[in-house]
Amino acid sequence: MITTLLLTLGLSWADGLHTGVPVTGIEGLGKPTFQTSQTGWSAVVEDGFVRVYVGRTEGAAHAWVLDRKKALRKQDPTANPGLLALSGVSDVHGDGKKLILFRDGNVAICVRHKHEGALPWAQLVHESIVDDGPPWPKSGKLVQMGSTWQVDPPSGTVHIAFEGGELASNQGLVFLVPPTALIVYDSWGRSVRTETQVTTP
């Protein structure tokens, strides 16, 4: 009875919307690498790596877990209810040693390890989830400056990716041909993809 109650409390605490996971400052994680707005960001750890996705909804994070399961089907990331009971999170898959994939509300995390050290890294990143942070980041803007286009990033941007376009040589995010979309990441790993609309100063 007590065990069931504690598990229920743990699961209700785990679900919900979180701000995200800091992309820097977690001890042991390397420099973040940012992918698309659908794949999230990743960082190398000793003998492995972590991948984090922050969705606007729990459903988006659940869909990400399902996509990762398909991508990792050779590793057979089957459901692991034992780890679910242990950690109080949702959608837990993998052996918990070399691979663990799980979700806490709108945050989904995948850890892969060469040996059997996935679980401590998963716990560390899970414990680093932040609540009560700033609002979701705003879209990036593209400003035409004569014959080129420059990115006007919103406040709090830590990384900008783009789709299409042609960069000017050695000028940072200055384009000779404007990109078709901008992807803005903030310090909590949240991203916004926006199809570009050129504005003039």
What is the DSSP code string of 108-133?
EEEEEESSS-HHHHHHHHHHT-B-S-
pLDDT given at position 197: 77
Question: What is the 8-class DSSP label of residue 195?
Answer: E
- Write out the chain's pLDDT in tens, 201 residues: 323 322 332 333 456 899 999 999 999 999 999 988 899 999 999 999 999 999 999 999 999 999 999 999 888 889 998 888 877 798 999 999 999 999 999 999 999 999 999 999 999 999 999 998 899 999 989 999 999 999 999 999 999 999 999 999 988 889 999 999 999 999 999 999 999 877 766
pLDDT given at position 15: 62
pLDDT given at position 103: 96
Q: Which domains, and CATH codes, for the chain?
A: 2-127 (3.40.1000), 141-199 (no CATH)
3-state secondary structure at position 141: strand
pLDDT given at position 83: 85
pLDDT given at position 174: 93
pLDDT given at position 196: 85
**Separation of alpha carbons 23 and 165, rounded Å:** 27
pLDDT given at position 5: 26
CA-wise closest residue to 158 among 183, 130, 176? 183
Whole-structure pTM value: 0.86
pLDDT given at position 8: 31
3-state secondary structure at position 10: helix
**Separation of alpha carbons 195 and 20, rounded Å:** 24
Q: Which residues lie below 8 Å from residue 127, measured CB to CB, with a gap of 6+?
A: none
